[in-house]
Amino acid sequence: MPDTSSETIERLLTRGVAECIGGERLRERLVGGETLRIKLGVDPTSPNLHVGRAVSLLKLRDFQEAGHTVVFIVGDFTGVIGDTSDKESERPMLSPQVIEENKKTYFEQVGMLLDLEKVEMCENSSWLGELTYREIGEHANQFSVADFIARDNIKRRLEAGTRVSLREMLYPLMQGYDSVAVSADVEVGGTDQRFNLLAGRTLQESAGQEPQSLIMNPLIMGLDGRKMSSSWGNTINLTDTPNDMYGKVMSLRDELVPDYFDFCTRVAEEVVAEYRAARTSNHVHPKDAKMHLAREIVTLYHSDEAARVAEQAFEQVFAQGALPDDMPTIEVAVGASLCTALVEVDVLPSRAEWRRLVAGGGVHVLGDHEEVVHDVDMVVTAPLVLRLGKRRFYTIAIK
C-alpha cells in the first residue's frame, strides 16, 4: 500500500520539481492510495549517467520509497534517432553498435539509486522496432508540423536557415509511444523534455488510456557553468571514483551549491534552506558548504567511508599542496600533439574542450615551477605532470 501521508505527497510533488502538469489529478490519485506506474526513459548516448540525469532518478526513488512502481526505459531505439530537444543543431544518428556499447552498464548505474528488484526495466526497441508505417502514420496524425516548429530551438534553427531533418520530428512520437507501451501514469523528465512529455499525453489519450501526469525536473549546471552534458565533458558521472567525484564537486561555482543540495541529494529541506540563505548572509563559508555537498554526493553513490577517504585525499592534495598518489599515466610519443593524445584516451571529450581549457588558463604543467599552457598546439617533448582544471592530474610519459 503506497504511503499517503500529506508530507510524503507534498515531497513527491515539490522536491526537485520545476513544473507539474496534471498535478491536481496526480495529487488525487496519490491521496486515494493508487499504486502508480512512474516512467523515465534515458537514451544511451554516452556510456555514463551523470548527476544531472540523476535528478530524475532521485525523483523515481522518491516514488519507489513511497510504494509506487518504477518503469525505467533504456532508449536503445530512440537513442539511434536522437533527441533534438536541447540542441541548436541536428543531432547525428548513432549506430546500433555504439548504442549497444553505451548501454552495457546502464541498469547497473541506475541500481546505485533504485532497488532494481522493484523496477520494471525495458528497452524501447522491443516495441518501437515492431511498429508498421501505418501505425506510425496514425501516431503522426495526432500532431501538426506547426506544433513541432513552434518549439524555441527549432524556430531559431529555421530562422537561421539551419537544416531540420524530418527524422527529428519523429522523436517526440517515439518517446510519446513509450508511455502508451508501458501504460505510464506519471512520466518524469527534464524541463527540456516538455514537448516530448506532452506527446505522451496526446498519444495515450488517442489510445484510450488516461493521460499521464508530468513531473519536470530542473536542469542543473555542469562544472563549467553550462548545462551538464556528456558532449561538453562538464559532468560528474555516477561511475566516477570517489576521489574524482569529490574533487569535481569541490570545483563547482559557489552559487550552484544550494541547487545541488536541493536537486542532487536528499538532505533535509531545512538544510537546503539554510544554504540558500547563507548565499546572502555569508554565515556559512562556501568551502564548508561544498565539502558537505561533496560528502553527501560521494556517500550517495559509494559509501560514508569512501567519502571520508576522498575528503582526506582532497585535503592532502589541495590544502597541503601534495600531488595525488594515484595519478593516471598516459604514454605519448615524442613530438605528438598533447591535445590529440588526451582526446584519444577519453581524458577530454573533444578538441573544442581542450581549446576551451587552454583559453581559460585551465591547463598547467607542474614541475619546479607551475606553468600555464597557452599553446593549443602543444606537442610533447619530455615527460611531464599535467593538471587539467583544478583537480585532474596526469603523468605524461614518453613511449
Task: Report the alpha-carbon distance of residue 269 to residue 286 in Å, rounded.
Answer: 18
Residue-wise pLDDT for 246-294, tens only, equals 988 988 888 999 999 999 999 999 999 998 888 777 667 788 899 999 9
Cell of 215: 513531473
CB 300 within 8 A of CB 335: no
Average pLDDT on 154-169 reads: 83
Percentage of the chain beyond pLDDT 70 is 95
Reply yes or no on whether the pLDDT at 205 is more than 90.
yes
Reply yes or no on whether the pLDDT at 84 is more than 80.
no
pLDDT of residue 165: 81
Domains defined along the chain, listed by start: 6-220 (3.40.50.620), 240-319 (1.10.240), 329-398 (3.10.290.10)
Q: Residue 87: which pLDDT band, with cuts at 50, 70 and 90? A: low
Task: Report the alpha-carbon distance of residue 320 to residue 276 in Å, rounded.
Answer: 30
Quick one: angle between helices 257-264 and 269-281, nearest 10? 170
pLDDT of residue 321: 65
Task: Look at the block and give the residue holding cell 581549446.
Answer: 355
Query: Of the candidates 142, 133, 149, which has an alpha carbon nearest to the alpha carbon of residue 202?
Result: 142
Query: Of the candidates 321, 363, 349, which has an alpha carbon nearest to the alpha carbon of residue 232?
Result: 349
Reply yes or no on whether the pLDDT at 31 is more than 60.
yes
Task: Look at the block and give the residue holding cell 541506475.
Answer: 110
Reply yes or no on whether the pLDDT at 39 is more than 90.
yes
pLDDT of residue 89: 61
Task: Report the alpha-carbon distance of residue 341 to residue 348 in Å, rounded.
Answer: 9
Cell of 5: 501521508
Average pLDDT on 197-209 reads: 97
Burial class (CB in 10 A: 0-12, 13-18, 19+), 49: buried
Region of residue 54 (phi > 0: left; psi between -120 and 50: alpha; otherwise: beta): alpha
Residue with the larger pLDDT of the pair 354 and 89: 354
Q: Enumerate the β-bridge partners of residue 186.
A: 38, 213
Helix or strand (DSSP H, E) at 121? strand 119-123
Reply yes or no on whether the pLDDT at 178 is more than 60.
yes
Average pLDDT on 15-25 reads: 97
